[in-house]
Every structure is written in structure tokens, then in C-alpha cells.
Amino acid sequence: MTGDTTDGTPGDEQAGRPVTHATPSGTRNWAGNVTFGAARVHSPTSLGELQEIVGGAERVRALGTGHSFNRIADTPADLVSVARLPEAVAIDHERAQATVSAGMRYAQVCRALDDSGYALHNLGSLPHISVAGACATGTHGSGVTNANLAAAVAGVEWVAADGSVASLARGDAGFDGAVLSLGMLGVATRLTLDLEPSFTVRQDVYEDMPLGRLATDLDEIVGSAYSVSLFTDWTSPSFNQVWLKRRTDAPERPTPRRWMDAHLADGPRHPVPGMPAGNCTEQMGKPGPWYQRLPHFRPDLVPSAGDELQTEYLVARPHALAAVEAVAALAPRIAPVLQICELRTVARDELWLSPSYRRDTFAVHFTWTSDVEAVMPVVRDIEAALAPVGALPHWGKVFTTAPEVVRAGFERLDDARRLRQRYDPGAKFTNAFVETYV
Ligand SMILES: Cc1cc2nc3c(=O)[nH]c(=O)nc-3n(C[C@H](O)[C@H](O)[C@H](O)COP(=O)(O)OP(=O)(O)OC[C@H]3O[C@@H](n4cnc5c(N)ncnc54)[C@H](O)[C@@H]3O)c2cc1C
């Protein structure tokens, strides 16, 4: 497993290959821990082709760039990538919105937006992922005022079960279940995103902040920049690193050499110990465009460790410290299979299947080694420890939380089910993952 994004997922196919083919044996997700069981993979190059494929299939699942760590995108039947549909970023200056092709990666979309003077409010740690895939799973970045990426979607258009094109816009009945949809309504083709004027961000990294500072200064720490990430490998009494991403249009704050008992890093850093800082976005306080600072990783290089599994749990903000304490108590179990743990904040949203639905959340993320057998028992222990604080798993990462616990965590689940019934009464877009958790 190289960790490169050109690992054979259908979204990476070159033009000229057959549009429909049997799944190349061993087609896997980015992490290499999921081998897709699809009988056929389709990479249509026009909307008409996509409509024909969807309309004629018995069971279909959409695939983005395959960066999820579980079987959320899998199907035994037909897998459809929209990566080869025509790419477009159409900006509506009056509304400050852009309608973008669903299969485009954030890296491409962001460059086009910035060229026209616009920005998105938030980005995940990597820009390699497709817009539709990221939004379908609730992908988020960090920031006390920053909701997840799907929260910026003002409209979505998709190919529905009968092959027709359906769409919903913010304010329409059902819209709040149609974007963060786990891919269960159909194959999204276009999303309309809210824009704001382009902005500049500086990124500073502090090292060795005592873990105890979180207990006394949580709000100040997570509120000290537009986006804040805390990293620890749980082998020392300190956070290895704290990344502060500050907008340069915000009221200026000093960048002292010491802050919260931490010290300013004297060079660029990678959050995963031992990995090259060159894969990361620029640090050392140098201002740069939003899309080159909000993600941790550069679009053209391997993000994160590359050889890994990931897990993440979200809890309501008031439970942040209890969650961290519960995880800290498991440090001796966690550390041997952990590459790095990242703590972030996610602002509330209105999306029915979002773990941040109407609650500001605190996210506890784990980048594990790729040793599934060693990692899974630790994942189960963490879930047991976080159960009392109502932790909900990230939809796109590895988890074993009992389905009834997951279902009970989403108060609008029945609305989501009704929406699915309305658009996909024959359950054409379902898969084992959706059946289990929805
Ligand atoms: C190195 C790495 C770093 C990550 N960092 C973060 C992070 O910072 N924050 C975070 O929250 N997550 C993070 N993730 C998780 C990642 O953002 C999600 O798994 C995301 O869903 C990946 O997008 P994708 O395009 O690869 O989707 P896929 O994994 O291909 O698909 C995910 C889901 O989206 C659906 N889908 C995809 N395309 C469409 C479409 N056109 N129409 C309808 N449904 C569709 C699929 O059916 C599936 O259900 C990270 C993952 C990796 C590998």
C-alpha cells in the first residue's frame, strides 16, 4: 500500500479505458483495508451515460476517491464513479455560490474558487477527496465556528433510482437529509457551495503543551485561532503539537515563543512522528491562501502517514474533557498501535445524519497503524470508554459501535429514512453498511 491516491480506485482511471468493466481484482480503498466486492465498476463520461447505468441497474453505490476506511461505499453489484463526468466550477457572483461537479477533488475546486477571489469556510486535513464523497460522510476540519464541509452545500443534484435527475436546495423539504446522505439517495452529480471572499491564513505550530492545560484552558485553546488541532501520541504528559491556523483578517494576536506552557516550533512539522514535514502545508507563520493552509497536507503528496487506519468519535462540546480523560486512561493500550491522535472542534449544523446535528462537538481522532487485528480491540475499548458521553463515530472511518447505539444517536433518523423511501423506494442505493446503521 503506497498511500498514493492513484491506487487503482475507479476515480483515478485515465480517459480511454472502457467505461464499464468487471471490478479489477483487488480494487481497494485508499488505505488498502477494504477490497471492494463490486461485480462491475462504471466510470461514465456523460450525464446521459450515468442515467442509463443507474436506471438499468438493480443495485448501485457511488464511489468518490475511496478515502473512507470502512465499507460505506461498497456493494456486491454496481459501483459508479463520477470522476470522469465533465468537470465544472460555475460561480454565481450574485449569490456567492459555486456549482461544482460532484466527483471533483477539493484541491481542484479550491484552486478555481481562489482564482476567482472566493473561499470555502472549512476544509478537511487533506484536499485529495471528492466533494460529494466528503460531504456524504460529514467530513470536517476544525474550528469552534466552523461546521463540517456539507454545511456549506446549498443545493445538490443527483441521479435517482429511475435514472431521472433530482435536486433539492436549502429550504426545500428534505434538503437537510440529502447532502450528508451516506450515498443512499442516489449518485450526486453537482453540488452548489456557499462561498465567501478569499482569505489568507497563517499557520503556527507549538510543541509540548502539557496535557493538563486542556483541563484549565480548553475554551481558550480551541478558540485561539480560526482552526485549532491538538496532536498527541499519548506517550508523554504533553501534546506533541498544537496547530493554530489564523486568518490574517482577524484581529491580530501575538505569536509569543511560549504559549500555554508550550514553545513555538523552530521548523515545519508533520503531525505523525517520523514523517516528512515536506508533505504538510506551509507553517512558520507564513501567510498563504486559505486552501493552502486549512488542510494539513499538500494535494500533490501523500497525506497523513499513508499506511494506516483511522477512527474518530464526536461528542457534545460539554463532554470534551470527559472524553479526553476517558481516552487518556487507555493510553497504555492505545500508544502501541497509534501513530497520532488529533483533537478538533466542529460547529453545529442542521444536517440530519451529522454527528454535529444541532450541537457543537469535540472530535477525537486516531490515526492507527495498519495492523487491523491489533487495532480493533483497542477501538472497542475506546468505544466502551466513550459510551457514557454519547460518542458518535465518523461515518467514513473504522468503528464497531453497536448499530442500535449509532441509530439512537441520530434523532432525525426517521426523517432520513422517510426521505430515502421517497427517493429510493426500491432501496436501489442501499448496501450492508446502510442497512446496518440506518
Ligand atoms: C488521509 C486521510 C485523511 C482524512 N482526513 C479527514 C479529516 O480531516 N476530516 C474528516 O472528517 N475526514 C477525514 N478523512 C475521511 C474522509 O474525508 C472521508 O472518508 C470522505 O468520505 C472521503 O471522501 P471520498 O471522496 O474518498 O469518498 P468515498 O470514500 O469514495 O465514499 C464515501 C461515501 O460517499 C458516497 N459518495 C461518494 N461519491 C458520491 C456521489 N457522487 N454521490 C453520492 N454519494 C457519493 C459513497 O457512496 C460513500 O457512501 C480522511 C481520510 C483519509 C484517507
Does 125 sit in the ligand 1 pocket, CB within 6 Å? Answer: yes
Closest CA to 219 of 271, 265, 260, 263: 260
Per-residue pLDDT at 26: 56
Atom of ligand 1 nearest to the CA of 135: 21
Angle at 383 between CA 377 and CA 384, to 5 degrees: 90
Q: Is 335 exposed, middle or buried (0-12, 13-18, 19+ CB in 10 A)?
A: middle
**Ligand 1 atom nearest to CA at 136:** 34
Side chain identity, residue 88 = A
pLDDT digits (tens, 9 = 90+) for 144-202: 999 999 999 999 999 999 999 999 999 999 999 999 999 999 999 999 999 999 999 99
Pairing of strands 60-63, 78-81: parallel
Atom of ligand 1 nearest to the CA of 395: 19
Give the CA count within 13 Å in the CB-facing half-sphere of 305: 18
Determine the 3-state secondary structure of 50 from DSSP. Answer: helix
| Alpha-carbon gap, residue 180 to 165, rounded angstroms | 18
What span, in angstroms and rounded, lies between the C-alpha atoms of 134 and 49?
A: 24
Strands 361-368 and 118-119: unpaired
Torsion region of 411: left, alpha or beta (phi above 0 gives left; psi -120 to 50 gives alpha)? alpha
E strands within 75-152? 78-81, 89-92, 97-101, 118-119
Confidence category of residue 306, pLDDT binned at 50, 70, 90: confident
**Distance in angstroms (rounded) separating the CA atoms of residues 166 and 24:** 31
Ligand 1 in contact with 272 (CB < 6 A)? no
How many angstroms separate the Cα of 428 from the Cα of each of 32, 57, 286, 315, 419?
26, 8, 49, 32, 14
Q: How many Å apart are CA 321 and CA 308, to the nearest integer?
A: 26
Assigned C-alpha cell, 4: 498514493
Question: Rounded to 5 degrees, what are φ and ψ at 17?
Answer: -75, 160
Average pLDDT of the chain is 94
CA distance 180 to 133: 9
- Inter-residue contact 399 to 386 (CB < 8 Å): no
Ligand 1 contact via 140 beta carbon (within 6 Å)? yes
Q: What type of residue sits at position 336?
A: P
Q: Which helix (H) or strand (E) holds 326?
A: helix 320-328
Amino acid occupying residue 420: R
Segment 407-425 mean pLDDT: 97
- Residue 287 in this model has a pLDDT that exceeds 90: yes
Using the 8-state DSSP alphabet, how is residue 412 labeled?
T
Distance CA 225, CA 244 (A): 6
pLDDT of 298 > 80? The answer is yes
- For residue 84, give the C-alpha cell: 470522469
- Whole-angstrom Cα Rg for the chain: 21
Q: Could you report the per-residue pLDDT of 35-57, keeping only the tens digit for each?
A: 999 999 999 999 999 999 999 99
Decide: pTM greater than 0.85: yes
Predicted local distance difference test score (pLDDT) of residue 39: 94
Question: Which atom of ligand 1 is the closest one to the Cα of 66?
Answer: 30
**Domains contained in the chain, CATH given:** 10-81 (3.30.43.10), 89-197+412-437 (3.30.465.10), 201-400 (3.30.70.2520)
For residue 202, report the distance from its CA to the centre of ligand 1, in Å. Answer: 26
Confidence of residue 10 (pLDDT cuts 50, 70, 90): very low
Cell numbers linked to 123: 476544509
Q: Whose CA is nearest to atom 36 of ligand 1?
A: 133
Asked if residue 113 lies in contact with residue 213, where contact means CB atoms within 8 angstroms, the answer is no
- Residue among 68, 275, 438 to mutate when testing ligand 1 (max atoms within 8 A of CB): 68
Gap from CA of 64 to ligand 1 centroid (Å): 7
CB 98 within 8 A of CB 118: yes
- How far does residue 346's CA lie from ligand 1's centre (Å)? 17
Residues 6+ apart with CB under 8 A from 429: 59, 60, 61, 62, 161, 183, 184, 185, 186, 187
User: Which residues, in sequence order, are bridge partners of residue 316?
Assistant: 361
Whether 373 shows a pLDDT value over 80: the answer reads: yes
Instruction: State whether the beta carbon of 61 lies less than 6 angstroms from ligand 1.
Output: yes
Helix axes 213-222, 320-328, angle to 10 degrees: 130
Q: In this predicted structure, what is the pLDDT of residue 3?
A: 30
Distance of CA 63 to the CA centre of its chain: 14
Q: Please write the tens of the pLDDT for every residue from 11-20.
A: 332 323 334 4
Task: Give me the half-sphere count of Cα atoms (radius 13 Å) on the Cβ side of residue 25.
Answer: 0
Centre of ligand 1 from the C-alpha of residue 105, in Å: 11
Residue 68 in contact with ligand 1 by CB distance below 6 A: yes
> Which sign, positive or negative, has the C-alpha torsion 91, 92, 96, 101?
negative
Cβ of 153 below 6 Å from ligand 1: no
Cβ of residue 188 lying under 6 Å from some atom of ligand 1:
yes
Ligand 1 proximity of 146 Cβ (cutoff 6 Å): no
The pLDDT of residue 2 is above 50: no
